[in-house]
Structure 1
Amino acid sequence: MPTATEQKIIDAAVRLFASQGYDATSVQEIVKAAEVTKGALYHYFRSKDDLLFEIYRLLITAQSADLDRIIALGLPAADTVREIMRSLVVSTAERVDETSVFFRELHRLGQERMADFRAERRRYHETFLAVVEKGQADGEFSSAVPADTVVLVAVGVVNQLPTWFRPDGQKSPARLADEIADFVLAGLRT
């Protein structure tokens, strides 16, 4: 969990990266927006790249913890898929700037960090995939569409949220989460 100062720096970086882009944002602008010293920024982050990675790390850590919590409930497959989708949509919509910044700047990660990103995303996908496969094997879900395609489409919809979701729009994250979960489950029904 970030300290209060660290969170101020992260929040300022997210706002600036989202509004003007990573390249166009200087460390000095982040320091000014966060109302901290340059020394404070460098106390927590060795570089702007480290700050970018921390934005991602906080998001994926929260989403993975939510996934683990949902799986631990031991719910039927349909309820588990609903909760996974709801959690993923809400966390993405509520942190739409972080998600947007990360996906737009993903190419900046070095090899090691990219490997970490891929490993965590793979774990998330494989866990979700296992839920859909179990639902199909148990007859709770239709097998008309392969489970891997279901997961790719479901997660793909969520990954596109930063391109069109607006926090001040007509739908709250919770309402949108329910609608997307209903859509995914409608496609899985037998």
Structure 2
Amino acid sequence: MATARREKRATERRNRDEEVLEAAIKLFYEKGYPASSIQDVADVVGVLKGSLYHYISSKEDLLFRILQQSHEQARAIMDEVSELDTSTLERLDEFLRRMYVWYLSNIERVSLYFNQGQYLTGERRTEMRAQGRDFRQYVRDLVAAAKEDGHLRADLDIKLAASFVLGALNSIPMWYRTSGTHSPDFIAREFAQMSLNALRPTPATNRQKRSAPAR
């Protein structure tokens, strides 16, 4: 009986914890982090302000947890793609499609990551920056592997190509509207294909390689 009660309380705490995070995501997205308060979050959740401190230590802690959770979800996609038994080009394509779908399906989280993360301080700020560097390096590694296997242009600059791919991905919060006509899956397929087409060898580059004089 005691065990059942403990498990019930743990479940209730997890549920309330997620409720607090979701309320904060909505508020920070709509009002901006500086203009939002712990009282605002408490009002949305329907609890007293003091009760929130059972789940968080501060407003900045709340923002950090949201961004950290978002990174963990992206990290899960990275790990899953890394385990795929497929070609390096297909792995890059799969990563892009999955990440596009995640961005498009979590537009509020993504917007917070790029627009509100600047308000983190100290170790939290340092940690999020390190995670951002890891993400960018992961994309560079995917591009480099696909190039090494001959799937991408031989003259491709890895850092520029990765920046191009990430630029398209990270631009989503600036233009995407959930009221649009296209589904996340459709947009993900199209953008991933356009990104890869920009990196692949073209018939013109193939002809140039064949016609180049021997040295």
State TM-score, norm by structure 1: 0.93
Report the equivalent of 1:43: 54
CA RMSD of aligned residues (A): 1.5
5+ unaligned residues in a row in structure 1: which ranges?
A: none
Report the equivalent of 1:90: 101
Q: Secondary structure at the match of 1:140?
A: coil
Report the equivalent of 1:55: 66
Pick from 11, 16, 32 the counterpart of residue 27 of structure 2. Answer: 16
Q: Distance in 1 between matches of 2:165 and 2:47?
A: 40
Pick from 54, 73, 83 the counterpart of residue 72 of structure 1. Answer: 83
Report the equivalent of 2:192: 181
Q: Secondary structure at the match of 2:116?
A: helix
* Structure with max Cα Rg: 2
1:151-170 matches, within 5 Å, as 151-170=162-181
Pick from 119, 128, 137 the counterpart of residue 126 of structure 1. Answer: 137
- Would you say the 8 A contact 1:63–1:87 is kept in 2? no
Shift of 1:121: 1.8
Q: Distance in 2 between matches of 1:100 and 1:152?
A: 19
Runs in 1 of length 4+ with deviation above 4 angstroms? none
Q: Distance in 1 between matches of 2:98 and 2:199?
A: 18
1:139-158 matches, within 5 Å, as 139-158=150-169
- Would you say the 8 A contact 2:88–2:149 is kept in 1? no
Q: How many residues align?
A: 189
Shift of 1:112: 1.2
State TM-score, norm by structure 2: 0.83
Q: Percent identity?
A: 29
Q: Distance in 1 between matches of 2:22 and 2:170?
A: 21
Residue 33 (structure 1) aligned with residue 44 (structure 2): yes
Quick check: 65-74 or 105-114, which moved more?
A: 105-114
